[in-house]
């Protein structure tokens, strides 16, 4: 079946990644993504979210459950389809790519018959065998390096970090090998690796298990970064990342795994370079991603009741930014608020602020404002944990200040 391309706009500059010419390298299964569509196909979020059985929904989970994204195009979620939780959508996308391409393999701690720490790889070992779904020792540096080496020989590994914080132990492999080998080899090798796993501030998981590593990895040359926020884009981004010739880090938020949404039965992929227009508006552009999408949409309800019309964009592509979509919005609203769960110092918001100021300064009627997490280790206590993360009330206040 033909693939549906999610998103729209003109091509975002990707020159820093120097994509590989598949005619020059005869590695197996070179699959190029089709050209970018010229219209949006946006999947909104199902208002009814499931958070598992027997678990008390946290404050953050209630915010996610109550946030209803406005759909600008329902073609992706109407008609035939099936409901999946976000972790099931990731699993389905991974399984489809393993069916399509025998060079796709999975490796990580407990990814085999246990099914992964959040069951994203459930059932894959039974279907594809232990050689393609490889349980590894508890040594992130070793199995990440093994995956990079496998990619150099023509395989397409999907490496799971049991928790994204653990991947700090593999930072040398990700930085010096994963991101650089295509360049340092003069283009002789490509590294079609996907590195993925749960991260973000969960529910009383403590400082080490609540890390946001976007800011750590954004400075590494040669690596793309994307963040999923709905079952629809989780599956589509997973499939696109596996097909990419560039190394891709896919960020999954631990609190979003049990989101439920209807996704199409037909095959589709999401463009790795494009943002998603979640809610069109006129007064202010709010840029966000991952879990904060739902805090923003909760705030948007209050803002609409107060007479404001915010435009909400899920940037999805953390590196490179989709400056085409972002720029068109800035030119329309002339005000920008960035909302992120990343740390304020050196975070994604800081880089995005710089990019907007450099490219669209003349269109701004007010300085770009960025709401980020507190620059402190995430506390274990629930009330303190929530204090460190941006809440909807803060978003409402910030919009009111910017629109004065």
Cα–Cα distance for residue pair 372/383, rounded to 1 Å: 17
Cα–Cα distance for residue pair 74/72, rounded to 1 Å: 7
Torsions phi, psi for 288 (to 5 deg): -155, 180
Considering just the CA atoms, what is the radius of gyration of the chain in Å? 20
209 is catalytic: yes
Q: 394 by DSSP, 3-state: which?
A: helix
**Nearest to residue 226, comparing CAs of 194, 268, 263?**
194
Strand order in the sheet with 194-199: 133-135, 104-108, 156-160, 194-199, 248-253, 224-227, 317-319
Neighbour-count burial for 335-344, b at 16+ CB within 10 Å, e otherwise: bbbbbbbbbe
Pair of tokens at residue 336: 């920008």
Torsions phi, psi for 91 (to 5 deg): -65, -40
Beta strands in 315-400 (DSSP E): 317-319, 336-343, 369-373
Residues 6+ apart with CB under 8 A from 272: 33, 224, 226, 237, 240, 241, 244, 248, 317
Asked if residue 320 has a cis previous peptide bond (ω within 30° of 0), the answer is yes
140 is catalytic: yes
**Nearest to residue 256, comparing CAs of 48, 87, 84, 76?**
87
Pair of tokens at residue 1: 């079946």
Q: Are 373 and 390 in contact (CB under 8 A)?
A: yes
Catalytic residue among 103, 182, 209, 295: 209
Burial zone of 24 (CB within 10 Å; 0-12 exposed, 13-18 middle, 19+ buried): exposed
Q: In which element (H, E) is residue 398 found? A: helix 392-402
Catalytic residue among 88, 92, 97, 140: 140
Write out the catalytic residue numbers: 140, 209
């Amino acid at each position: 079946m033909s693939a549906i391309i999610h998103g729209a706009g003109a091509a975002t500059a990707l020159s820093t990644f120097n994509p590989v010419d598949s005619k020059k390298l005869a590695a197996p299964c070179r699959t190029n993504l089709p050209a970018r569509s010229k219209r949006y196909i946006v999947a909104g979020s199902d208002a009814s979210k499931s958070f598992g059985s027997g678990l008390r929904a946290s404050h953050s989970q209630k915010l996610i459950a109550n946030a209803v994204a406005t759909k600008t195009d329902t073609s992706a979620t109407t008609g035939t389809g099936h409901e999946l939780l976000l972790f099931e959508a990731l699993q389905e996308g991974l399984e489809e790519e393993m069916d399509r391409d025998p060079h796709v393999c999975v490796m990580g701690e407990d990814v085999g018959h246990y099914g992964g720490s959040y069951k994203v790889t459930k059932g894959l070992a039974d279907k594809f065998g232990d050689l393609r779904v490889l349980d590894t020792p508890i040594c992130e540096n070793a199995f990440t390096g093994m995956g990079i080496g496998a990619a150099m020989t023509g395989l397409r590994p999907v490496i799971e970090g049991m928790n994204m914080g653990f991947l700090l132990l593999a930072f040398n492999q990700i930085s010096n090998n994963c991101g650089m080998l295509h360049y340092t080899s003069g283009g002789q090798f490509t590294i079609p690796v996907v590195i993925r796993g749960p991260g973000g501030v969960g529910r009383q998981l403590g400082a080490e298990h609540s890390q946001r590593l976007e800011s750590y990895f954004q400075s590494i040359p040669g690596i793309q970064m994307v963040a999923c926020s709905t079952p629809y884009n989780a599956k589509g981004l997973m499939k696109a990342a596996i097909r990419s010739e560039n190394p891709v880090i896919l960020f999954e938020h631990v609190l979003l795994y049990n989101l439920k949404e209807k996704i199409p039965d037909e095959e589709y992929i999401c463009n790795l370079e494009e943002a998603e227009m979640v809610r069109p508006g006129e007064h202010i552009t709010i840029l966000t991603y991952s879990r904060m999408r739902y805090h923003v949409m909760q705030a948007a309800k209050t803002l609409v009741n107060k007479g404001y019309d915010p435009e909400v964009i899920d940037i999805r592509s953390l590196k490179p930014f989709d400056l085409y979509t972002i720029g068109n919005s800035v030119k329309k609203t002339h005000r920008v608020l960035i909302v992120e769960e990343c740390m304020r110092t050196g975070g994604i918001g800081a880089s995005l602020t710089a990019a907007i100021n450099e490219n669209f300064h003349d269109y701004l009627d007010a300085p770009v404002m960025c709401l980020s997490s507190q620059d402190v280790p995430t506390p274990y206590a629930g009330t303190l944990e929530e204090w460190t993360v941006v809440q909807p009330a803060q978003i409402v206040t910030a919009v009111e200040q910017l629109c004065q």
